[in-house]
Amino acid sequence: GSPRAELGKGERIRDNILELALTKVPESGWTTKTIADAATELGYSPIAHTMAQNGTVDLIGYFMNKALRETRLQVAKSLNP
């Protein structure tokens, strides 16, 4: 595929890994191991955690962005029932 399509695919894989990693945070914390475990569970090599180039900072950022998106959606729903 094109470089742009490959970038999008990589971002989707990273987001899938981070999404699963969020479910593991309560038991294993905001760690690189949490991200690696999520990657492994999704069938990727544990080294796939490097798709989140900044490790736990990316995981926390993903969480914050997700929370912001969900908050905006809830506010929009409450303003436009």
State the pLDDT confidence band at 47, using cuts at 50, 70 and 90: confident
How far is Cα 36 from Cα 50, in angstroms, rounded to an integer? 8
pLDDT at residue 44 in the model: 94
pLDDT at 5: 59
Of the pLDDT bands very low, low, confident and very high (cuts 50, 70, 90), residue 2 is low
pLDDT for the residue numbered 18? 95
pTM of the shown model: 0.79
Do residues 52 and 58 make contact, with C-beta atoms less than 8 angstroms apart? Answer: yes
